[in-house]
Amino acid sequence: MEQKKFKTEVSELLHLIIHSLYSHKEIFLRELISNASDALDKLKYLTLVDPAFKELQFSPRIDISFTDEEHGKTLVISDNGIGMSHDDLADDLGTIARSGTKNFLKNLTEDQKKDSNLIGQFGVGFYSSFMVAEKVEVVSRKAGSEEAWKWSSNGKGTFTLEEAERESQGTTITLSLNEEGHEYASRWTLDRLVKRYSDHIAFPIFISYDEEEYDDKGKKKGQKTHKVEQINSAAALWRRSKNELTAEDYHEFYKNTSFDTEDPLLYIHTQAEGANNYTTLFYIPSKAPYDLYHADYKPGVKLYVKRVYITDDEKELLPTYLRFIRGVIDSEDLPLNVSREILQQNRIMGNIRTASVKKILGELKKVAEQNPELYGKIVDQFNRPLKEGLYSDYANRENLLELVRFKSSEVEGYTSLASYVERMKEDQKHVYYLAGGNEETIRRSPLLEGYKKKGIEVLLMTDDIDDIVVPSIGTYQEKTLQAINKAGAVDELDKDESKKKKKEGKDVIKKIKKALGERVKDVVVSSRLVDAPAVVVVDDNDMTVQMQQILKSMGQSDMPESTPILEINLDSPVVRKIADSEDEAFVADLSQVLLDQALINEGVMLKNPADFVKRLTSLLSR
């Protein structure tokens, strides 16, 4: 017998589960049944495509039984799926494969610790059994092997591994129920939970139990009959007609397959016949998946061929920007032994993917038009990834332009590009926007002052990718998208005023340029500033200050920096002081502070904050 310690993060996780998640303890059964279903899926696939397993007599099933004795209660979940080897048991049940789990555990708030979603989200479903069990034993035999092994643990830091016996491949999990778990040694409780959480598992689930016998007068005979009954429908829900399914059916299937406890925001069920025969059932979750912005995100769509599970780890089934979608693709035309390489290049799969993307975007557009409240919830969670599509999916850009939303200087909440254009002034030629930084920082930008005063709406781009994505759009409904933090954003309503001020500011511009030297690309007079003395912008072909900071945070420290342009307000008392002063040292200090303040206002960290403080102190002392 081998005795091993759990990895540190598993020990911490078990402590969390045992002490913090009792209010949702019933979902342990869903987790264990889903694991069994996955094991059956994998073996079913091998029996169809691997010659080594084609002769295997295989009738996939899941069995549940229990004992309710005075000396103890047990619950047993068994399957005849692919099974686990010695190393599988040690690795899969001794560690957590998902990266970042340990850090996730450290950062949990008390409210989060009570959230049952955490179990499914972090791929740790097996460990939920310790919510209801004082001891867990797993006996497993891998398909194709003659050896069986037993894994056992009380969830207190260690587990043991030893040789065991099992007649055929598969896994049997025995839970010695604790007081919290006694209620699950009941046929009616198990029946209810299986129908609630696992009714649509594609394999039959049987329950074994002993039923009391009664005579004609309703008295117990003192003997029991052993019964075995199937308690789930075992139907692939996506293959059923949409007409016979209810919203509750769709929601329960989603919860069962995605390990989510909340209803999805939207489901999209398509059954296509013609050149390609396939079925898709897609869901949009109510909350963004925890790994949505991780490079190693887990795809949410499973691929089936003729109801045979192929993979749930293929990122090519849908474009990356739709990685939040959950659900199923089931093709009638793909070969069962399709490999990942073939999958990525397969014409049929390409057609399904193209049609699926159009269907999803089309349904989103319908929701946006017909149910703005629901669409607002979708935008709250998934607006940013949809924006990624503007940059990466040119074929669907027109549809995506109708779906993405932005904050605005003039209206509450989110607005669309179409709504902005409807509100534009009659002689306005551009869709104005300001990107970079968080919403609070952007709303305080001095650049907005003049536009607000003239009643011109500006879209506020608050996502970190906006600086990359929005310039790629170019035009919308023949209106040019113009960033107001670019030097070329001259307000067409004030061109004459701009020319007039440019003449007036020649002398002060000359002074400030001399004081700032190479720190600025140019100094220009602003027709947009009202209260602020100055603001920094960049040349039309240069990266914005915020974009430079994003790239630096991504490790691109060797890239050339764009030198900002300082736009000054001739009506500001600060700028007038520079214009009126003949003290070169004073002009130099005030000009430098003017630039540093403008950079700080844009959320930029100064390279030499000590110099800024020194100059500011000097000015204050005067």
Q: What confidence tens digit (pLDDT) does each residue in 496-534 have?
A: 566 666 677 888 999 999 999 999 999 988 888 888 999
CATH number at residue 265: 3.30.230.80
Q: In the predicted model, is pLDDT for residue 492 greater than 90?
A: no
Burial bucket for residue 452 (CB in 10 Å: 0-12, 13-18, 19+): middle
Taking residues 124-133, report their average pLDDT: 82
Q: What confidence tens digit (pLDDT) does each residue in 457-482 have?
A: 999 998 888 888 888 898 999 999 99
The full length of the chain comes to: 622
Query: Are 304 and 344 in a shared domain?
Result: yes
CATH number at residue 541: 1.20.120.790
Q: In the predicted model, is pLDDT for residue 22 greater than 60?
A: no
pLDDT at 537: 87
113 domain residue, yes or no: yes
- Residue burial 203-233, b: 16+ Cβ < 10 Å; e: rest: bebbbebeeeeeeeeeeeeeeeeeeeeebbb
Query: Are 359 and 438 in a shared domain?
Result: no
Taking residues 450-455, report their average pLDDT: 87
Query: Are 422 and 305 in a shared domain?
Result: no
360 domain residue, yes or no: yes
Query: Are 10 and 105 in a shared domain?
Result: yes
- 135: which 2 tokens? 């001891």
Query: Are 170 and 278 in a shared domain?
Result: no
Query: Are 21 and 89 in a shared domain?
Result: yes
Question: Strand ranges (DSSP E) for 60-157?
Answer: 62-69, 72-79, 133-141, 148-153
pLDDT at 539: 82
Q: In the predicted model, is pLDDT for residue 10 greater than 80?
A: no
Query: Are 222 and 255 in a shared domain?
Result: no
The 3-state secondary structure of 329-393 reads EEECCCCCCCCHHHHHHCHHHHHHHHHHHHHHHHHHHHHHHHCHHHHHHHHHHHHHHHHHHHHHC
The Cα–Cα gap between 200 and 198 comes to 5
pLDDT at 109: 52
- 193: which 2 tokens? 């939970």
Mean pLDDT over the full length of the chain: 85
Measured in whole angstroms, the distance separating CA 374 from the mean position of its chain's CA atoms is 18
Domain containing residue 314: 237-383
Which of 206, 230, 254 delimits the end of a domain? Answer: 230
Q: In the predicted model, is pLDDT for residue 140 greater than 50?
A: yes
Residue reference for tokens 């764009």: 562
Q: In the predicted model, is pLDDT for residue 236 greater than 80?
A: yes
Query: Are 135 and 202 in a shared domain?
Result: yes
Torsions phi, psi for 433 (to 5 deg):
-145, 160
Torsions phi, psi for 313 (to 5 deg):
-130, 35
Q: In what order do the strands lie in the sheet with 170-177?
A: 2-5, 158-164, 148-153, 133-141, 170-177, 72-79, 62-69, 205-214, 220-230
pLDDT at 305: 84
Q: What confidence tens digit (pLDDT) does each residue in 252-270 have?
A: 889 878 878 899 999 999 9
**Phi-psi label, residue 608: left if phi above 0, alpha if psi -120 to 50, beta otherwise:** beta
Q: What confidence tens digit (pLDDT) does each residue in 274-332 have?
A: 888 999 999 999 999 989 999 889 899 988 888 777 888 888 899 999 999 999 999 98
Q: In the predicted model, is pLDDT for residue 370 greater than 90?
A: yes
> DSSP letter string over 13-48?
HHHHHHHH-GGGTTHHHHHHHHHHHHHHHHHHHHHH
Q: What confidence tens digit (pLDDT) does each residue in 164-210 have?
A: 999 999 999 999 999 989 999 999 999 999 887 788 788 999 999 98
Taking residues 6-12, report their average pLDDT: 68
Q: Which of 438, 477, 435 is nearest to 459 (CA)?
A: 435
Q: Which of 456, 448, 454, 460 is nearest to 414 (CA)?
A: 460
Contact 168, 80 (CB under 8 A): yes
Query: Are 272 and 177 in a shared domain?
Result: no
Contact 78, 173 (CB under 8 A): yes
Query: Are 128 and 167 in a shared domain?
Result: yes
Number of domains in the chain: 3
Which of 230, 258, 293 delimits the end of a domain? Answer: 230
In the chain, what is the greatest distance between 2 CA atoms, to the nearest angstrom?
Answer: 115
Q: What confidence tens digit (pLDDT) does each residue in 61-107 have?
A: 999 999 988 778 999 999 999 999 999 998 877 654 443 445 545 55
138 domain residue, yes or no: yes
The DSSP element (H or E) to which 193 belongs, if any, is: helix 187-197
The Cα–Cα gap between 616 and 596 comes to 10
Q: In the predicted model, is pLDDT for residue 20 greater than 60?
A: no
399 domain residue, yes or no: no
Contact 538, 522 (CB under 8 A): no
Query: Are 221 and 256 in a shared domain?
Result: no
391 domain residue, yes or no: no
Count Cβ atoms below 10 Å from residue 495 Cβ, excluding itself.
Answer: 11
- Does residue 99 or residue 349 have the better pLDDT? 349
pLDDT band at 116 (very low <50, low <70, confident <90, very high): very low
The DSSP element (H or E) to which 615 belongs, if any, is: helix 609-621
400 domain residue, yes or no: no
Q: What confidence tens digit (pLDDT) does each residue in 551-605 have?
A: 666 566 666 677 889 999 998 999 999 989 898 889 899 999 999 998 888 777 8
Angstrom distances, CA of residue 99 to CA of 6, 105, 123: 16, 12, 11
Contact 53, 143 (CB under 8 A): yes
Threshold 0.85, pTM exceeds: no
pLDDT band at 145 (very low <50, low <70, confident <90, very high): very high
Query: Are 339 and 245 in a shared domain?
Result: yes
394 domain residue, yes or no: no
Residue reference for tokens 């049940």: 93
Alpha-carbon dihedral sign for residues 86, 92, 97, 101: negative
Q: Report percent pLDDT > 70 for the chain.
A: 86
pLDDT band at 438 (very low <50, low <70, confident <90, very high): confident
Contact 207, 190 (CB under 8 A): yes
146 domain residue, yes or no: yes
Contact 199, 232 (CB under 8 A): yes
Q: In the predicted model, is pLDDT for residue 115 greater than 80?
A: no
Which of 214, 230, 246 delimits the end of a domain? Answer: 230
